[in-house]
A = this chain, B = another copy of it.
Amino acid sequence: MDTTEFRKRGKEMVDYIADYFEQLEERQVYPDVEPGYLRPLIPDSAPQEPEGFEDVLKDVERIIMPGVTHWHSPYFFAYFPTASSFPALLADVLSGGLGCIGFSWAASPACTELETVMLDWLGKMINLPEEFLAGKDGEGGGVIQGSASEATLVTLLAARTKTIRRVQSENPELTEADIMSKLVAYASDQFCATLGTTPCCSFDRLLELGPICNKENIWMHIDAAYAGSAFICPEFRHLLNGVEFADSFNFNPHKWLLVNFDCSAMWVKKRSDLTNAFKLDPLYLQHCHQESGLVTDYRHWQIPLGRRFRSLKMWFVFRMYGVKGLQEYIRKHVKLSHEFENLVLQDKRFEICAEVTLGLVCFRLKGSNELNEALLKSINEARKIHLVPCHLREKFVLRFAICSRTVESVHIQFAWKHISELATELLNA
């Protein structure tokens, strides 16, 4: 395929995606396929000779689409949102086209420098303490990780290295293995300090945990994977109070801030804590500026070596929505979750199971777990909307998460009417 054909096919693909979004509401949100459906539909092995784009695109509709769960359908209320916006899609096309691998400053200076500045922009948007920002010559700074799990792993390893060195400097007679065998990591049943847990969007009390961690020399990492995006709204920022005690903080703009997956933002107060743990310097990765103190080599901040130019999509989204546009987006979702909450509260057969703070409503029929399992089964089997459950203190609970960029009141009303009718059928059965 040469550039002439790419121009043609690229534009066809853009139209395909635009059509997809325009017709998304008509597609069944959850697929009908059974495990193993795909293998019989395609050949056993790759073709020897090239095939045309048109044949491949035809197969997307025939083979792929019947097996897709439509995460961006306005009838999708499962898990948590995953971001999708047109500015992010456009930026990803650019990122893919440039195709640079930013493991060091020299490997593509723009890739590293835009990332550092975008993490500062985002840190300011949520009013993070100055110490977490890179600024012109700060000791802290931000980095894009692939996921909150990777951010947790990276900070855990950094905390381990830092603690071992501290203990060793205080007790030179101890070996690394001695110290390692005594290390302890504290976590809640959601792990590490969490703002906005997955089951029910609950919040740990940072103002109580933080001072203890600081006093006892414990590295404090805060994971606000879903909830973090809401902190760009002043009325939700108080949920982040106490972050000033933390060593590291992480949330996922790829969940609720319209920056397509993957984009997990992580900040540390001392970047040297990361580079001490991860520094890897074979000659082929070195460059003349690396010891200048002026540059960031992000390979020392993460598990993988390679990295894509992901800050472009933050830049496109932040500029093309503006902070006000992003705040409106968050507020719309929170408003819709309260709309659903109110519908549930008006029906005496149901109960709300956790405080509704952001875009998640946990609810259930008053009654047994089996009854609620049956309700969820009938909801998901009807294929009109899609939800997933959770356990809250042994209770089987339905989670209703506001997810889609295009979800409106009409979809909330439809979903509730549908759930309510299925409940009636179930209770009358």
Contacts and interface: CB of A to CB of B under 8 A. Distances in A.
A8 to B, nearest CB: 9
A314 to B, nearest CB: 9
A36 to B, nearest CB: 6
Interface in A304-362: 304-306, 308, 312, 315-316, 318-325
A217 interface: no
B6 A94 contact: no
Contact of A36 (B121, B294, B322): B294
A109 B31 contact: yes
Contacts of A304: 146-147, 149-150, 262
B109 A67 contact: yes
B71 A100 contact: yes
Interface in A73-102: 79, 82-90, 92-94, 96-101
Given A101-B82, A107-B79, A388 B153 contact: no
B18 A3 contact: yes
A88 B52 CA distance: 14
A117 B39 contact: yes
Integer count of this chain's copies in the complex: 2
Interface string A194-231: 00001100000000000000000000000000000000
Interface residues of A, number: 130
A38 B6 contact: no
A97 B20 contact: yes
A17 B94 contact: yes
A9 B64 CA distance: 26
Interface of A: 1, 3-7, 9-11, 13-18, 20-22, 31, 33-39, 42, 44-53, 55-56, 60, 63-72, 79, 82-90, 92-94, 96-101, 105-111, 113-114, 116-117, 120-122, 124-125, 136, 146-150, 153, 177, 181, 198-199, 254, 260-262, 282-285, 289, 292, 294-295, 303-306, 308, 312, 315-316, 318-325, 388-391, 396, 399
Given A46-B125, A47-B323, A149-B305, 8 more contacts: A10-B18, A35-B292, A39-B113, A71-B100, A89-B93, A92-B93, A283-B396, A303-B303
16 contacts: A6-B21, A13-B90, A17-B96, A44-B120, A50-B324, A56-B87, A63-B110, A65-B110, A67-B111, A67-B113, A79-B284, A82-B101, A92-B92, A146-B146, A149-B304, A261-B308
Nearest first, the 6 closest Cβ-Cβ pairs linking A and B are A67-B110, A10-B14, A147-B304, A17-B97, A38-B113, A35-B294
